[in-house]
Amino acid sequence: MAPRTPIQLEKVRAKSRTKIINAAIELFARKGYHATSISSIAAKAGIAKGLLYHYFKSKSELLDEILKNSLSEVDEPMQALMMPGDPVDKMALLIESTFAMVQSDIKRWKLLVSIMTQYEVLIRIRKIFSKMMQGYLEIFEHLFKEMKVPQPKLEAYRLAATIDGVMLHYIYYLPDGYPLEEIKNEIIQQYAKYRKKKK
């Protein structure tokens, strides 16, 4: 009959929060933010409507929370660059890990894309995204320079577009049977010719 310990409480809290967030991601991604009602999130999470407001101040804060988490993951692929080695290998690794990231959590990416293509409202989010994109472009360009690709800047834009386009198609248009692996390999392959020869 004693109150729960802080650790017990934290566990309970974490469990409920997770249930809510997962339900929200699923529904936001599938039907869009506005078309998803708090009721439906609560129902899917198996909790009472009121509890949701115990954990999140509002619907929009719930979204914010999810987006913040999602975007924080995005920087991870960048780590690939710290390593020494042939830029072609680094580029390959970068592309691989980027694709892997999306493949591992399609729902989250669906949500991100749908949010990105939506709000003039969520300017803050868009800014984060823009910066991230800028980061990618710079790294691509840097590697292309190392690889002696002609027009490295333009090639960076093109690669970024190709990757996002593939993702888009993979996620939305043709979820069944999209030859993701083959295309990924193609993309990586095209830079093979820039590999430095070993002596």
Partner DNA sequence: AATGAATGAGGTTTCATTCAT
Partner DNA sequence: AATGAATGAAACCTCATTCAT
CA angle at 54 for the pair 51 and 56, rounded to the nearest 5°: 110
Cβ 69 to a copy of itself shortest distance, Å: 20
Should residue 158 be labelled a site residue for a copy of itself when binding is judged by CB under 8 A? yes
- Half-sphere CA count of 146, side-chain side, radius 13 A: 17
Alpha helix segments (H runs only) across the chain: 6-31, 38-45, 49-55, 59-73, 87-104, 106-116, 123-146, 152-168, 180-189
Tell me: does residue 194 bind a copy of itself (CB under 8 A): no
Which region among 6-14, 67-75, 85-93, 175-183 touches a copy of itself (by CB under 8 A)?
Answer: 175-183
In the complex, the smallest distance separating the C-beta of residue 21 from DNA, rounded to whole angstroms, is 13
Query: Is residue 36 close enough to count as binding DNA by CB under 7 A?
Result: yes
Q: Would you count residue 31 as binding a copy of itself (CB under 8 A)? A: yes
- For residue 100, the partner it binds in DNA, a copy of itself, none, with Cβ less than 5 to 8 A by kind, is none
Residues 106-125, interacting with a copy of itself (CB under 8 A): 110, 113-114, 116-121
Taking the complex as a whole, how short is the minimal distance between the CB of residue 47 and a copy of itself, in angstroms? 12
Tell me how far apart the alpha carbons of residues 173 and 167 are, in angstroms, rounded to a whole number.
10
Residue 6, burial from CB neighbour count under 10 angstroms (0-12, 13-18, 19+): exposed
